[in-house]
């Protein structure tokens, strides 16, 4: 949004100058077109969006004559834009799907994949909840609707209210694959349009449980320690535990691009993977790549 605005203002300024000083017209036109030819478009996942935006901003600061335009819309939107050729990079919070790969193939294209950061998913509950840790099997039971009351997992006699993201979100898919071993969510799971809404709802519902990215963790909800080895070790989510791989629910965030445009987007991609870019990853609340 901000970037687009900035761009618009620039264009307007240029237009003004053209009107007032005809001599500089040609010069400015050249400047304008060169600016355009460097514009790289990123589109896709709303999870990756804040990270990509920050990275684009600092990239443009150090590379004055390049432009990076970042827009959201969702992982699916990004990848279909890549197929249509309306974006250079598709940001995605899930792996590219079989059907999407086949679409690219039909269009005579192949895609290259680059992992730019990791995101740790935290399971959160209402702060007053007595339960502090859960096994993966228990989480599966809760989200598939087999476990319905908190007392079954060591809490109070209270109905469990399950919050999830919308079925379209990459977070939903990842949680299903990774925590629920590909079983489907129960039909009565509440789905919320955004991670912020999940945090808000859980903070005001006593029996609530849900999952959000690590970046959304605040004091009004409580993070649950998770065990993937049948209850031997429970690990609390944090950037540190995600980095040293003791915390199990971690997912990669991807950039997809065409091999043909690799040369053009290489500088930006290298910046994202550099030490400076990875520092931004940590600042935005995501987990940097292992060195």
Partner 1 sequence: MNFKISKIKEKIIESLLFISGAVTSVTVVFIVLFLFSEGLGVFMKKPIEEGSVIAINKNNIVNEISAEQIKNIYDQKIVSWKEIGGDNDNDTIILFRIEDITNYYSEAEIGENFERLPLCIDKLIDSIPGIIAFFPEKYLAKNFKGKKIELENINGYQFFSGNEWFPTAQPAAQMGVKPLILGTLWVSLIAIILALPLGLSAAIYLSEIANEKLRNILKPLIELLAGIPSVVYGFFGLVVIVPLIQKVFEIPVGETGLAGSIILGIMALPTIITISEDAMRNTPRSMKEASLALGASKWQTIYKVIIPHSISGITAGAILGIGRAIGETMAVLMVTGNAAVIPHTILEPVRTIPATIAAELGEAPEGGLHFKALFALGCILFLITLFINLLVEYISSRNKYATK
**Would you tell me which residues interact with partner 1 (CB under 8 A)?**
73-77, 79-80, 83, 97-100, 102-103, 144, 158-159, 161, 166-170, 172-173, 182-185, 187-193, 197, 200-201, 204-208
What minimum distance in Å lies between the beta carbon of 217 and partner 1? 19
Report how far residue 219's alpha carbon sits from residue 142's, in angstroms, rounded to the nearest whole number.
23
Q: Would you say 54 or 103 has its CB closer to partner 1?
A: 103
What minimum distance in Å lies between the beta carbon of 69 and partner 1? 18
Q: Would you say 163 or 271 has its CB closer to partner 1?
A: 163
Is the CA virtual torsion 212, 192, 100, 53 positive or negative? negative
What minimum distance in Å lies between the beta carbon of 93 and partner 1? 9
What minimum distance in Å lies between the beta carbon of 207 and partner 1? 5
What minimum distance in Å lies between the beta carbon of 38 and partner 1? 28
Q: Would you say 192 or 226 has its CB closer to partner 1?
A: 192
Phi first, then psi: give them for residue 217, nearest 5 degrees.
-70, 125
Instruction: Tell me if 77 sits within 8 A of 41, measured CB to CB.
Output: no
Burial of 243-268, coded b for 16+ CB within 10 Å and e otherwise, reads: beeebbbbbbbbbbbbeebeebbebb
What minimum distance in Å lies between the beta carbon of 180 and partner 1? 9
The secondary structure of the chain in percent helix, strand, coil, rounded to multiples of 5, reads 45, 20, 35
Report how far residue 285's alpha carbon sits from residue 272's, in angstroms, rounded to the nearest whole number.
15
| Helices (H) then strands (E): counts for the chain | 11, 11
Q: Would you say 204 or 219 has its CB closer to partner 1?
A: 204
Could you tell me which residues are beta bridge partners of residue 211? 123
What minimum distance in Å lies between the beta carbon of 240 and partner 1? 29
Instruction: Tell me if 185 sits within 8 A of 176, measured CB to CB.
Output: yes
Task: Report CA Rg, the chain.
Answer: 22
Q: Would you say 208 or 272 has its CB closer to partner 1?
A: 208
Q: Would you say 207 or 248 has its CB closer to partner 1?
A: 207
What minimum distance in Å lies between the beta carbon of 233 and partner 1? 24
* H-helix or E-strand spanning residue 86: none
Q: Would you say 91 or 235 has its CB closer to partner 1?
A: 91
Catalogue the E-assigned strands of 126-168: 133-135, 161-165
Q: Would you say 209 or 249 has its CB closer to partner 1?
A: 209
* Burial environment of residue 49 by CB neighbours within 10 A (0 to 12, 13 to 18, 19 or more): buried
Query: Which alpha helices (DSSP H) does 38-185 contain, by range?
Result: 49-62, 75-84, 98-106, 136-144, 170-178
């Amino acid at each position: 949004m901000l970037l687009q605005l900035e761009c618009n203002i620039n264009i307007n300024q240029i237009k003004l100058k053209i009107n007032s000083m005809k001599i500089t017209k040609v010069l400015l036109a050249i400047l304008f077109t060169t600016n355009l030819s460097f514009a790289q478009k990123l589109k896709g996942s709303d999870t990756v969006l804040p990270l990509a935006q920050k990275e684009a901003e600092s990239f443009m600061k150090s590379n004055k004559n390049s432009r990076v335009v970042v827009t959201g819309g969702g992982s699916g939107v990004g990848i279909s834009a890549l197929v249509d050729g309306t974006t250079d990079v598709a940001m995605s919070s899930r792996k590219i799907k079989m059907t999407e790969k086949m679409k690219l193939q039909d269009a005579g294209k192949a895609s290259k994949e680059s992992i730019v950061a990791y995101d740790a998913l935290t399971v959160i509950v209402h702060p007053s909840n007595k339960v502090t840790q859960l096994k993966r099997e228990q989480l599966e039971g809760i989200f598939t609707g087999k476990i319905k009351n908190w007392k079954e997992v060591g809490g109070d006699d209270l109905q469990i209210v399950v919050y999830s993201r919308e079925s379209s979100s990459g977070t939903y898919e990842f949680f299903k694959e990774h925590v629920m071993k590909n079983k489907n969510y129960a039909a009565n799971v509440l789905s919320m349009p955004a991670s912020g809404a999940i945090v808000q709802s859980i903070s005001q519902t006593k029996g609530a449980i849900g999952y959000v990215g690590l970046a959304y963790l605040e004091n009004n909800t409580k993070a649950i320690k998770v065990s993937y080895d049948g209850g031997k070790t429970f690990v609390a989510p944090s950037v540190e535990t995600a980095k040293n791989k003791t915390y199990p629910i971690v997912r990669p965030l991807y950039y997809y691009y065409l091999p043909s445009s690799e040369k053009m987007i290489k500088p930006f991609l290298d910046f994202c993977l550099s030490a400076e870019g990875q520092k931004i990853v940590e600042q935005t609340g995501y987990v940097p790549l292992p060195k």
